[in-house]
Amino acid sequence: MGNGARNGIKTVGLAPNLSSGFYGQDIISVRQFTRENLQYIFAIADEMRAVVKRVGSTDLLKGHVLACVFYEPSTRTSSSFIAAMSRLGGSVIPINEVRYSSVTKGESLPDTIRTLESYADVIVLRHPEVGASQVAAEYARKPIINAGDGVGEHPTQALLDLYTIQSELGTVDGLHVAMVGDLRYGRTVHSLARLLCQYDVQMTFVSPEVLRMPLDVLNEVKAHKRDVEETYDVHDVIASADVLYVTRVQRERFADQAQYDSVKDFYVITSELMGQAKERMIVMHPLPRVSEISYAIDNDPRAAYFRQMENGMYIRMALLAAVLGKA
Amino acid sequence: MGNGARNGIKTVGLAPNLSSGFYGQDIISVRQFTRENLQYIFAIADEMRAVVKRVGSTDLLKGHVLACVFYEPSTRTSSSFIAAMSRLGGSVIPINEVRYSSVTKGESLPDTIRTLESYADVIVLRHPEVGASQVAAEYARKPIINAGDGVGEHPTQALLDLYTIQSELGTVDGLHVAMVGDLRYGRTVHSLARLLCQYDVQMTFVSPEVLRMPLDVLNEVKAHKRDVEETYDVHDVIASADVLYVTRVQRERFADQAQYDSVKDFYVITSELMGQAKERMIVMHPLPRVSEISYAIDNDPRAAYFRQMENGMYIRMALLAAVLGKA
Amino acid sequence: MGNGARNGIKTVGLAPNLSSGFYGQDIISVRQFTRENLQYIFAIADEMRAVVKRVGSTDLLKGHVLACVFYEPSTRTSSSFIAAMSRLGGSVIPINEVRYSSVTKGESLPDTIRTLESYADVIVLRHPEVGASQVAAEYARKPIINAGDGVGEHPTQALLDLYTIQSELGTVDGLHVAMVGDLRYGRTVHSLARLLCQYDVQMTFVSPEVLRMPLDVLNEVKAHKRDVEETYDVHDVIASADVLYVTRVQRERFADQAQYDSVKDFYVITSELMGQAKERMIVMHPLPRVSEISYAIDNDPRAAYFRQMENGMYIRMALLAAVLGKA
């Protein structure tokens, strides 16, 4: 759905901000969200969590159909959306093999989307190319939810990250959020940093030189007059961080092994390191992890990454209900 | 299900005509359908459309299970059946990877079908070999719906095509239907031409010499004393056609590039060409399209191909309900 | 779920016996089952069958979500679980391509399981490695059902096999059960033999020398003081067997073709052979079959293998309902 008219009526243009409500809208970018929008979705997510904990599911979207279209596999994200739709009482068309099908016969993305929207009420799209969701939204009459478009955006991930911070710590304002690891290629940290600009937070970006946060994100944070610093070593932030958002540092990003070996220990979260952290703080990770967080801290109550996964389902339930006008 | 006994009791034999009703029957071939059968299914499809437009879904098939067995991928057709079953309140077992599984251990189609019918109430089968659905139907106690068997039949496609003509133009009798493009290898045009023999229509087959309509289809149309002509150039029919059914002309079908280049413009539907068409006519296409219909005409109200997709869901809802005795 | 506390509360340890009930428990091994447990599950399966025959499905697990995680394909088993959950009114997240996804990014099984249990209420796991389900159960808070772990166990298959014997013949005690074919590599016959130790049965193991039943299974049967014999030729048991459980003998298991040719006819069930069998007996097979049972006997009422498949759905319905506390 290309635009911001209310009542689910489409007009043409870039994905708009959501000031006139979510019904019938596309969810393409974190840039669409005001602080007010975020609190609205988080409040619905809170309700969704309460329903799931109490009775498992609702019939809110009974009779509605979601087409879950993944041009590249992502078990985590697709499972989360399927679970979300199921717990709302709706049905899912899982499409995981677009690559084998019409697309290989040369079909364009708009044609695929226009076909699928003739069957479904809402479309979740994962695509390897930046901007694919925006293109889909321009052609579709039904709402499109971006589930990741290449190195572009993954707005539902950013929302669940922010929601986790608020759920776990009760607030976002006043926190010190440290992002650790690969900040250059990590889509999640870019989107989260942008979202955090709407809050009164202090950010520290912790990464090796070759994996520093891109300048455009850094400048956007500064433009919002947020307190931001950069450092190479997680030890610089461990004692003061309220949120330690960890991402994977891949060996392949380094020119040689020696360079990698010289920095890798700066970015591994161990029990010893956690000994220096606050008692009330959280460790987050978008998963999958490899070795950047020691398994030994999984049972530390500050390890929030599995709760973060669960929050993803509540956020997606909230978004699905909202764009279908049932929130 | 092999035969025509009513009340869902199977007997052995070829897929029969449906004169004694749909309950418990297999849907294997367009040859099973009388004009009366077609109107019956179209009337149910109309109701299904009304239900979907009004409330999204029904509980007609609540508690019923469809096994959707695709030996070759077809996102469009499988999504349409999954959506149809979901909007009828039923459940789906999506089986898209038969090729990796028991079949590679050498299991026969009858054994696979007999296993799946022990779980499901109805089976939709897509298979690369002509006659596979008929074989499956002979062994199965539950209804089999053919979702395409190689270059053989794809009856639900033919039904949705015919239903689209009737829905869009209010009638089938008295129309001039032009089929354009690859008429030699196109399964959809063969089945549609056969179905149209039951109506008082004029047909024109528009194709390059190497892609002409097969003689057996042509002779069947003539045997029904329908008015039929053949031509190379879509310009010959554009002014008089009520239905322009377009299929893709593939370069690979031609001996050399020069031969292809000399004819390709005869089969591309452009805005300019549409300027010569009637005001009340429709352009259809089974999709996926590549370049044989210009994107510029997608917003022309005569471009019916996306509505045609949507009709596929209503036709499949009607067939599922009918063979399960719930129509 | 690692342990045997009742009320669905997890404690740590090996999958326990089910003496304190099924609610919240993992189903990892046939060793967990007492004779009393088995009768309990079989009684629920009988009820499930009655419900399906009468009305097709129930709402017992409405609002519950099953994650069906298959690290290797098994259309038969995954379809059976999907059908079981659907007929209980629940939803399924079908995950068939773990191999393409997070796992290929190096994610550990525990992380994958802990992610999926944040979306689902119960997890069915098929994995190529022995012990994978036990590992998963140790990390998961939600119940894990083992759907086959390499050459290890496949407990739901063993349960459906035993349930089929009891359903078809009214009892298990007092029967002569002959297992025929590849007894060395066949996971199903190992588990079934172990389960049968709890009953007063006579067992005969019929196999070529190179495919004899492993010594540990043989010794376990003897330790239970069950009457057990071994032979090379199915003709030795055909007249006395109440149950003929047939598995596939693969040519590849033999050193040379001559060796295979010299024995292969000992293990093919033909109509002629069935002429020597009791009037009241059953032929079983875990399927897929290749040529070890002649198609000619499919319509013999003693051919129980397709009913055996159907029983798999009822057993899985019973287990799902039981571990979710809804039986």
Q: Does A111 contact B at CB distance below 8 Å?
A: yes
Q: Select the residue of A82, A289, A290 nearest C93 (Cβ to Cβ).
A: A82
In a domain, C20, yes or no: no
Chain B, 37 to 96: residues with Cβ < 8 Å from chain A are 55-58, 73-76, 79-80, 82-83, 86-87, 89, 94, 96
- A161 and A148 part of one domain: no
Q: How far is CA B284 from the centre of its chain?
A: 12
Q: What sign has the CA pseudo-torsion A142, A145, A150, A155?
A: positive
Contacting residues for A114 by C-beta, under 8 A, at least 6 apart: A139, A140, B306, B309
φ/ψ (deg, to 5) at A144: -110, 135
**pLDDT tens sequence across C206-264:** 999 999 999 999 999 999 998 999 999 999 999 999 999 999 887 878 888 888 888 87
Average confidence (pLDDT) per 10 residues, chain B, 327 residues: 41 66 95 95 98 96 96 92 98 79 65 96 95 94 95 93 98 98 91 95 95 94 94 96 93 84 86 98 94 94 98 98 95
Whether chain C has a CB inside 8 Å of the CB on A288: the answer is: yes
Cα dist. A129→A108, A153, B52 in Å? 13, 10, 33
B76 is catalytic: yes
Distance, CA of C144 to CA of C156 (rounded, Å): 12
Q: Does residue C3 sit within a domain?
A: no
Amino acid at residue number A197: C
Q: Are residues B168 and B290 in the same domain?
A: yes
Per-10-residue mean pLDDT for chain A, 327 residues long? 41 66 95 95 98 96 96 92 98 79 66 96 95 94 95 93 98 98 91 95 95 94 94 96 93 84 86 98 94 94 98 98 96
Q: Do B79 and A67 touch (CB under 8 A)?
A: yes
Residue C39 confidence (pLDDT) above 50: yes
Helix (H) or strand (E) holding A124: strand A122-127
Residue pointed to by tokens 């007997």: B11
Catalytic residue among C49, C58, C77, C247: C77
Alpha-carbon distance B95 to nearest alpha carbon in chain C (angstroms): 7
**Residue C13 and residue C31: Cα distance in Å, rounded?**
15
Q: Are C232 and C209 in contact (CB under 8 A)?
A: yes
Neighbouring CB atoms inside 10 A of C183's CB total 24
Q: Closest Cα of chain C to B85: distance in Å?
A: 13
Q: Can you tell me the distance from the alpha carbon of C199 to that of C192, in angstroms, rounded to the nearest whole number?
A: 11
User: Which residues of B fall within a CB distance of 8 Å from C83?
Assistant: 65, 67, 91, 93, 119-120
What does the alpha-carbon distance between residue A319 and residue B3 come to, in Å, rounded to a whole number?
Answer: 48
| Chain B residue with minimum CA distance to A104 | B288
Give the per-residue pLDDT at B97.
67
Contact C94 B94 (CB under 8 A): yes
- Does the CB of A99 have a partner CB in chain B at under 8 Å? no
Q: Regarding beta strands C202-206 and C227-231, do their DSSP bridges make them parallel or antiparallel, or are they unpaired?
A: parallel
> What residues are paired with C149 via a beta bridge?
C127
Secondary structure (3-state) at A69: strand
Block residue for tokens 């057990």: C228
**C225/C315 same-domain check:** no
- Quote the DSSP letter at residue C17: P
A98/C contact by beta carbon, under 8 A: no
B250 touches chain A (CB under 8 A): no
Q: Distance between CA A277 and CA A299 in Å, rounded?
A: 15
pLDDT surpasses 80 at C97: no
Gap between the Cα atoms of A155 and A323, Å rounded: 14
Tokens 């870019």 locate to A190
C288 and C221 co-located in one domain: yes
pLDDT the model gives residue C260: 85
Q: Give yes or no: residues A126 and A197 share one domain.
A: no
Nearest CA in chain A to B316: A119
CB-neighbour burial class of residue A244 (10 A; exposed 0-12, middle 13-18, buried 19+) = buried
DSSP string for residues in B257-309:
HHHHHHHGGGG-B-HHHHTTS-SS-EEE--S--SSSB-GGGTTSTTB-HHHHH
Which residues does B44 contact at the CB level (< 8 Å), separation at least 6? B317, B318, B321, B322, B327
**Residue in C with minimal Cα distance to B63:** C57
- The answer to whether residues C173 and C49 belong to one domain is no
> From the CA of B102, how many Å to the nearest CA of chain C?
6
Q: Indicate if C253 belongs to the active site.
A: no
Place of tokens 């049965």: C201
Tell me: do C189 and C209 sit in the same domain: yes
Interface of C with B in 297-326 (CB under 8 A): 306-307, 309-310, 312-313
Q: Give the span between the Cα atoms of C39 and C19, in whole angstroms.
A: 13
Rounded to the nearest 5 degrees, what angle is found at the Cα of A218, between the Cα atoms of A212 and A222? 150
Q: Flag if C93 and A87 touch (Cβ within 8 Å).
A: no
Query: Is residue B51 domain-resident?
Result: yes
What is the distance between the alpha carbons of residues A32 and A28, in angstroms, rounded to a whole number?
Answer: 8
Catalytic residues of A: 76-77, 105, 126, 154
Q: Please check whether residue C149 lies inside any domain of the structure.
A: yes
Residue A103 maps to a domain: yes
CATH code (residue C161): 3.40.50.1370
Kindly give, in sequence order, each residue whose CB lies less than 8 Å from that of residue C318, ignoring residues fewer than 6 positions away.
C41, C42, C44, C45, C47, C48, C327
**What domain count does chain B have?**
2
Task: List chains touching A (3+ CB pairs under 8 A).
Answer: B, C
Q: Indicate if B126 belongs to the active site.
A: yes
With contact defined as beta carbons under 8 Å apart, do C158 and C192 qualify?
A: yes
Q: Which candidate from C55, C58, C76 shows the least CB-CB separation from B102?
A: C76
Band of residue C1 on the pLDDT scale cut at 50, 70, 90 = very low
Q: Domain range spanning residue B204?
A: 156-308
Among A154, A182, A181, A177, residue whose Cα is nearest residue A165:
A177
> Which residue in the block uniquely carries the two structure tokens 């009513």?
B6
**What pLDDT is recorded for position C320?**
98
Nearest residue to C213 via CA among C231, C195, C239: C231
The C-alpha atoms of residue A263 and residue C53 are separated, in whole angstroms, by 65
pLDDT for the residue numbered A173: 97
Q: Which of B77, B112, B156, B188 is catalytic?
A: B77
Could you tell me if A85 and A59 lie in one domain?
yes
pLDDT of the residue at C106: 60
Give domain status of residue C13, yes or no. no
Does residue A160 share a domain with residue A148? Answer: no
Question: Does B17 fall in a domain?
Answer: no
Instruction: Name all chains with 3 or more CB-CB pairs below 8 Å to chain C.
Output: A, B
Q: Do C74 and B101 touch (CB under 8 A)?
A: yes
Burial A108-127 (b: 16+ CB within 10 A, else e): bbebbbbbbbbbbbbbbbbb
Predicted local distance difference test score (pLDDT) of residue C264: 78
Least confident of A307-311, B253-257, C173-177, C290-294: B253-257
Strand, helix or coil for residue C243: strand
At C92 the three-state DSSP class reads strand
Say yes or no: C12 contacts chain A, CB-CB below 8 A: no
CA distances, B219 to each of B193, C103, C192 (Å): 11, 57, 61
Domain check: are A170 and A269 in the same one? yes
**How many Å lie between the alpha carbon of C24 and the closest alpha carbon of chain A?**
15
Interface with chain B: mutation pick from A86, A119, A320, highest number of B CBs within 10 Å: A119
Taking contacts as CB-CB distances below 8 angstroms, the residues of chain C near B97 are 73, 75, 96
Beta bridge partners, A92, equal A66
Mark yes or no for CB contact B289/A98 under 8 Å.
Answer: no
pTM, rounded to two decimals: 0.93
Tell me, yes or no, whether C86 and C193 share the same domain: no
Q: Considering the domain boundaries, does residue A252 fall inside one? A: yes
Chain B residues near residue A82 by CB distance under 8 angstroms? none
Note whether B221 and B83 are same-domain residues.
no
**CA dist., res. A78 & res. A76, Å (int):** 6
C289 vs B107: CB contact, 8 Å cut-off?
Answer: yes
Q: CA A54 → CA A45, A286, A310, B161, distances in Å?
A: 14, 27, 15, 47
Closest CA to A112 of A97, A130, A91: A97
Whole-angstrom distance, CA of residue A303 vs CA of residue A277: 12
Rounded to 5°, angle at Cα A239 from A238 and A245? 35
Q: Which residues pair with B66 in a beta bridge?
A: B92, B122
Q: Is C10 a catalytic residue?
A: no
